[in-house]
Amino acid sequence: MAATISAVNITNRAVARTIFRWIHIVFAIPILGYIYSPFDKLPSYAFKTRFVFVPIMVLSGLWMWKGHVVRRLILKGRARQDTPVSAPPHGAALG
Q: For residue 89, report the phi and psi dihedrals to the nearest 5 degrees.
A: -60, 155
Gyration radius (Cα) of the chain, Å = 23
pLDDT in tens, 40-80: 888 888 899 999 999 999 999 999 999 889 888 888 887 77
Domain extents in the chain:
2-80
pTM of the model: 0.65
11 vs 7: CA distance, rounded Å? 6
Confidence of residue 89 (pLDDT cuts 50, 70, 90): low
Burial class (CB in 10 A: 0-12, 13-18, 19+), 54: middle
